[in-house]
Amino acid sequence: MKRLTFFSGLAAICFSLVLPGYALAQPAVGDAAPNFTLQGSDGNTYSLADFKGKQAVVVAWFPRAFTSGCTVECKSLAENGDKIRQYDVSYFMASTDPLEKNQAFAKETEADFPLLSDPDGTAAKAYGVYAMGGYAKRHTFYISKDGTVLKIDTAVNPKSSAEDMIANLGQLGVARR
């Protein structure tokens, strides 16, 4: 058993040396959410720090604009935005796509919320969602007004993403407007 633990630790060290910049862990529930400053498809720049003490935040990471699952997820959130906005929350989808691609994707899917662009993967790495192919894993982070991670959904269903987000906001006790 000691030998297995030693080799597991050694493998993790070697993996991190071979693939620098790839996140091996993501923040856990109860941790402070990593700050980010990212450009939105609406032309504004968003920082998590700007919401601290004011409003809960949901960041739904998605792999790639214009792919089937991501299109279904974005449309689900756009079609149910009125229900999501009943909560005191700002919500975003975020990817490692360039801003121009997310702007076109937001227009095509009629997104009524900002899509955030993280083309260098800095925020995706901090959130532990950066994949070896340079895209983000489909994980949704629920962040409290005080900046603490409340929930991480690693099994997002694109078709029901809006309904799931609404249910999670209610279960997490996020205030209604």
- Residues 16-54 pLDDT 10s: 333 444 445 889 999 999 999 999 999 999 999 999 999
pLDDT at 61 over 70: yes
Count of beta carbons in the 10 Å neighbourhood of residue 110 = 11
- What average pLDDT does the structure give for the chain? 89
Alpha-carbon separation of residue 33 from 15, 38, 129 (angstroms): 25, 15, 13
CB atoms inside a 10 Å sphere around CB 61: 25
C-alpha closest to that of 60 among 25, 84, 43, 86: 84
Q: Which of 140, 46, 60 is nearest to 93 (CA)?
A: 60
What is the total residue count of the chain? 177
Of the listed ranges 9-13, 44-48, 146-150, 161-165, the one predicted with least confidence: 9-13
Let me know: does 121 contact 96? Beta carbons within 8 Å.
Answer: yes
Whether the Cβ atoms of residue 60 and residue 124 lie closer than 8 Å to each other: no
Q: Which of 109, 74, 72, 115 is nearest to 96 (CA)?
A: 115
Supply the pLDDT for residue 6.
41
What are the tens digits of pLDDT across the range 9-20? 434 434 433 344
Q: Which residues are marked as active site? A: 70
Which of 82, 106, 96, 73 shows the shortest CA–CA distance to 23?
Answer: 96
In which residue are the tokens 């498809």 written? 41
